[in-house]
Amino acid sequence: MQTEQSYYKTASYLIEDYNKDHVFTLDSIFYKRASYLGNRKTFVITDPTHTNLISSGKISVLKNQSNKDQLLNYYKELERIEKIIQNNNSLQIDQHYFEALLKFVYNYENLFETFGKNLSKFPGHLVTPNYETDIQEISKSVISKDENKLALMNAITLR
Helix extents (H) in 26-97: 28-36, 48-56, 65-87
Domain ranges (residues) in the chain = 2-158
The average confidence (pLDDT) of the chain is 80
Q: What is the pLDDT of residues 86-100, one digit of tens each?
A: 887 787 777 788 888
Q: What is the pLDDT of residues 11-29, one digit of tens each?
A: 999 999 999 999 888 888 8
Rounded to a whole number of angstroms, the distance between the first and last alpha carbons of the chain is: 15
Helix/strand/coil percentages in the chain, nearest 5: 75, 0, 25
Helices (H) and strands (E) in the chain, counts: 8, 0
21, containing H or E segment: helix 2-21
CA distances from 53 to 67, 129, 133 (A): 14, 48, 57
Q: For 114-136, what is the mean pLDDT?
A: 65
Nearest to residue 36, comparing CAs of 86, 119, 98?
A: 98
pTM of the model: 0.60
Return the half-sphere exposure (C-beta side, CA atoms, 13 A cut-off) of residue 7.
20
